């Protein structure tokens, strides 16, 4: 029950921040304004988030854990390109399911250097997590020591490219179709290097 309440307050703070930031811009919005809009104190805000950057990327924070779990659940003999495509799609499906909110977040992150930097920090952790899972899947095979990091980087490059393209078209392009196209481009390199 306490965890559910905590999640609800975090979500309310995140939504209040997104509404304010979308209308006023990142630099014009203070933590005080976000807290007031959400109906909580500044002190309560800081119990949940360390900064206004964190409240915005809250929407994105769990994606890395979800991607690693998705990759771990893929069949062992599956081609790396197919496994990584499904892994990335697990994260992108979140955006498809909440497209209006997700579009606001992605636009805001891409347009704000401080938020973009925070997303890149998350992506560094995601890359390490995906690489560790890929290394576990491959086992100790000779000549594959660089492959997990490179493959994870390629998968996250596809994730980033798809999000940029999708947000640049105001969500008009289909996320699943963009993901398929991205991984069709990457598949030869991902599958040849692992083989």
Q: What is the pLDDT of residue 143?
A: 55
pLDDT digits (tens, 9 = 90+) for 138-158: 876 655 688 999 999 999 999
Using CA atoms, how far apart are residues 102 and 112, in angstroms rounded to an integer? Answer: 15
Q: Look up tokens 């307050």; give the residue.
A: 9
User: Which is higher by pLDDT, 99 or 190?
Assistant: 190
Instruction: Enumerate helices (H) and strands (E) in the chain, giving the number of each.
Output: 10, 0
Does position 53 have pLDDT exceeding 60, yes or no? yes
Q: Residue 128: its pLDDT value, please?
A: 94
Would you say the pTM of this structure is higher than 0.75? yes
- Considering the chain, what percentage of its residues have pLDDT values greater than 90? 45
**What whole-number distance in Å separates Cα of residue 30 and Cα of residue 115?**
15
Residue 54 pLDDT greater than 80, yes or no: yes
Provide the pLDDT for residue 84. 97
- Mean pLDDT score of the chain: 88
Looking at residue 179, what is its pLDDT?
A: 96
Domains delineated in the chain? 2-56 (1.10.10.60), 62-194 (1.10.357.10)
State how far the alpha carbon of 194 is from the alpha carbons of 58, 73, 83, 157, in Å. 34, 18, 12, 18
Q: Could you give the percent of the chain with pLDDT greater than 70? A: 95
Mean pLDDT of 23-39: 88
């Amino acid at each position: 029950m306490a965890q559910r309440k905590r999640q609800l307050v975090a979500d309310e703070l995140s939504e209040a921040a997104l509404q304010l930031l979308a209308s006023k811009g990142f630099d014009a919005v203070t933590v005080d304004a976000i807290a007031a809009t959400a109906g909580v104190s500044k002190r309560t805000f800081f119990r949940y988030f360390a900064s206004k950057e964190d409240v915005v990327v809250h929407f994105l924070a769990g994606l890395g854990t979800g991607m690693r779990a998705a990759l771990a659940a893929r069949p062992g003999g599956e081609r790396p390109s197919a496994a990584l495509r499904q892994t990335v799609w697990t994260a992108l499906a979140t955006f498809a399911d909440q497209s209006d909110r997700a579009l606001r977040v992605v636009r805001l992150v891409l347009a704000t250097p401080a938020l973009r930097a925070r997303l890149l920090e998350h992506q560094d952790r995601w890359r390490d997590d995906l690489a560790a899972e890929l290394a576990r899947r491959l086992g100790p095979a000779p000549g594959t020591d660089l492959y997990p990091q490179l493959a994870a980087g390629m998968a996250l490059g596809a994730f980033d490219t798809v999000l940029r393209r999708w947000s640049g078209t105001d969500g008009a392009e289909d996320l699943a179709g963009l993901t398929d196209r991205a991984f069709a481009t990457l598949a030869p390199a991902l599958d040849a290097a692992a083989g």
